A and B are shown apart, each in its own frame.
Chain A
Amino acid sequence: MSESANTIQFFTGFRFNDLGFLAEAAGNTLLISVISISIGSVLGCLFGWALHVSVLARYILGSVLDIFRSVPLIIQLLLFFNFFPILGLPLEPFAAGCIVLIFYTSALVAQVARGGIEAVPDSMRRASRSLGMSYLQDMRYVVWPIGARAMLPAWTGVALGVLKDSALVSVLGYLELLRASQILITRTQEPFIILAIVGAFYFALSYPIGKLSAKLEQRWQYD
Chain B
Amino acid sequence: MKLLSNKLSALAATAVMAVSLSTNALADKLDDVISEGELRCGVVLDFPPIGYRDANNNPAGFDVDYCRDLATALDVDAKIIPLTWAERLPAIVNNRTDVIFGGTSDSLQRAKTVGFSIPYAIYYAQAIIGKDSGIKTFADMKGKRIAGAVGTVPEKEFLKYAKKWGTESLYQGYQSENEVFLAVAQGKADAGLTTNTTIKPVVGQFSSLAAGPRMPWTTDYTSVAGPRKDIAWLNYLNLFVTHQVRSGRYQELWGKYVGGEAPALRIPNVMY
- The answer to whether any beta carbons of A and B sit under 8 Å apart in the complex is yes
B53 interfacial by beta-carbon distance below 8 Å: yes
Known A-B contacts A8-B49, A10-B49; the reply to A21 vs B201 at CB < 8 A is no
List CB contacts (< 8 Å) of B243-272 with chain A: 255-260
B82 interfacial by beta-carbon distance below 8 Å: yes
**A89-B96 Cα distance, complex, nearest whole Å:** 9
> Chain A 112-137, CB within 8 Å of chain B: the 1/0 string?
00000000000000000000000000
A216 interfacial by beta-carbon distance below 8 Å: no
Residue contact A4 to B19, C-beta cutoff 8 Å: no
B211 interfacial by beta-carbon distance below 8 Å: no
| A12, A21, A191 pick with most chain B CB within 10 angstroms | A12
B48 interfacial by beta-carbon distance below 8 Å: yes
Residue contact B20 to A184, C-beta cutoff 8 Å: no
Chain B residues contacting A184 (CB-CB under 8 Å) are 57
Of the four ranges (under 10, 10 to 19, 20 to 34, 35 or more), the interface on chain B belongs to 35 or more
B33 interfacial by beta-carbon distance below 8 Å: no
List CB contacts (< 8 Å) of B94-134 with chain A: 94-96
Residue contact B257 to A88, C-beta cutoff 8 Å: no
Residue contact A189 to B49, C-beta cutoff 8 Å: no
Residue contact A10 to B48, C-beta cutoff 8 Å: yes
- Stretch of A55-63, A79-87, A139-147 on the interface side: A79-87
**Residue from the list B57, B206, B259 in contact with A183, Cβ < 8 A:** B57
Of the four ranges (under 10, 10 to 19, 20 to 34, 35 or more), the interface on chain A belongs to 20 to 34
Known A-B contacts A10-B201, A11-B205, A186-B176; the reply to A4 vs B256 at CB < 8 A is yes
Residue contact A186 to B178, C-beta cutoff 8 Å: yes
In the complex, what residue of chain B is closest to A9 when comparing beta carbons?
A: B55
Known A-B contacts A9-B55, A85-B96; the reply to A4 vs B82 at CB < 8 A is no
**A17-B54 Cα distance, complex, nearest whole Å:** 13
A203 CB to nearest chain B CB (Å): 24
A53 interfacial by beta-carbon distance below 8 Å: no
Interface class of chain A by DSSP: loop
In the complex, what residue of chain A is closest to B254 when comparing beta carbons?
A: A5
Chain A residues contacting B48 (CB-CB under 8 Å) are 10-11
B168 CB to nearest chain A CB (Å): 25
Residue contact A3 to B49, C-beta cutoff 8 Å: no
Chain B residues contacting A5 (CB-CB under 8 Å) are 49, 200, 255-260
A204 interfacial by beta-carbon distance below 8 Å: no
B52 interfacial by beta-carbon distance below 8 Å: yes
In the complex, what residue of chain B is closest to A173 when comparing beta carbons?
A: B82
List CB contacts (< 8 Å) of B193-242 with chain A: 200-201, 204-206
**A86-B81 Cα distance, complex, nearest whole Å:** 17
> Chain A 148-163, CB within 8 Å of chain B: the 1/0 string?
0000000000000000
**Which B positions have Cβ atoms within 8 angstroms of A?**
19-20, 22-23, 40, 45-46, 48-49, 52-57, 81-83, 90, 94-96, 176, 178, 181-182, 185, 200-201, 204-206, 255-260
- Other A-B contacts than A8-B49, A87-B19, A183-B53, 14 sampled, CB-CB below 8 A, are A4-B256, A5-B257, A11-B204, A15-B55, A82-B96, A85-B94, A87-B23, A90-B96, A173-B82, A173-B83, A184-B57, A185-B178, A186-B52, A187-B57
What are 20 contact pairs spanning A and B, CB under 8 A?
A1-B256, A3-B256, A4-B256, A5-B260, A9-B55, A15-B55, A85-B95, A86-B94, A88-B23, A173-B81, A173-B83, A183-B53, A185-B182, A186-B53, A186-B178, A187-B52, A187-B53, A187-B55, A189-B182, A191-B182
